[in-house]
Amino acid sequence: MDPISILGILISLGIAAWQTKKANDTESKLFKILKSLPSQLTENISSTFQTANLTSDDLSFQESEELTDSAIIESREPLSQAIYRDLDGDGREELIVQFPFGLHGVAMQVYGLSNFEFRLIAQLTTDAPVFFEFEDVNNDGRIEIKSIETNVSSGLPYVMGLRDEVWYQLESSNFVEVKRVEPTPQEIKEVIETR
């Protein structure tokens, strides 16, 4: 092999090593930015609700175990939550942001990387003032999302307090219902009798 060919190979290897280092540095910076997003999003959500003059005193939320390990805004600011969980089973965690929605509901937005772009993947709302919970309930290795929703099969109004426990899984960019637990006929009868 002549010296010019050897020099060309060495230059090519040097360029490949430089590009790999640059890509690794960029990826490292991106992950640092993504890890700081929960607090930034929580602050943005807070300022949105502060301009609407809503506070945690205006909203009645049931606390869940998830609240202890996440970024939460408390005191006179609205309750919101930002956590990381791998919802789609791809081995990478998505950013999950929950915040008050509507008159007495909660919204959850899921953000993640897709084709090297950080974007909203999916969203889900509930009409009950309870944060979503995350657990692998059917032991399939994937996390399900628990929601509390108004029971409509009983035909009773929202104020009667009948709620369904609904479990979802994230499939692509949609939430698919995997389990629903409705009040029993006996529970419905007891609610009607006490009103």
Give the per-residue SS3 of 88-101: CCCCCCEEEEEEEE
- Most confident option among 8-12, 16-20, 58-62: 8-12
Closest CA to 172 of 131, 116, 114: 114
User: What mean pLDDT comes out for the span 24-48?
Assistant: 62
Closest CA to 87 of 133, 39, 119, 42: 133
Q: Which tens digits make up the pLDDT trace of 129-185?
A: 889 999 988 888 889 999 999 888 888 887 777 899 999 999 988 999 999 999 888
* Spatial distance between the Cα atoms of 195 and 185, rounded to a whole number of angstroms: 16
Token duo for residue 140: 């399939």
User: What mean pLDDT comes out for the span 33-62?
Assistant: 51
User: What mean pLDDT comes out for the span 65-78?
Assistant: 38
With cut-offs at 50, 70 and 90, classify the pLDDT of residue 47. Answer: low
β-sheet with 174-181: strand ranges across? 133-135, 144-150, 163-171, 174-181
* Spatial distance between the Cα atoms of 179 and 88, rounded to a whole number of angstroms: 17
* Spatial distance between the Cα atoms of 109 and 180, rounded to a whole number of angstroms: 21
With cut-offs at 50, 70 and 90, classify the pLDDT of residue 75. Answer: very low
- Residue 29 CA to chain centroid, in angstroms? 22
- pTM listed for this prediction: 0.59
DSSP state of 55: -
With cut-offs at 50, 70 and 90, classify the pLDDT of residue 193. Answer: confident
* Spatial distance between the Cα atoms of 138 and 164, rounded to a whole number of angstroms: 18
Token duo for residue 9: 């190979």
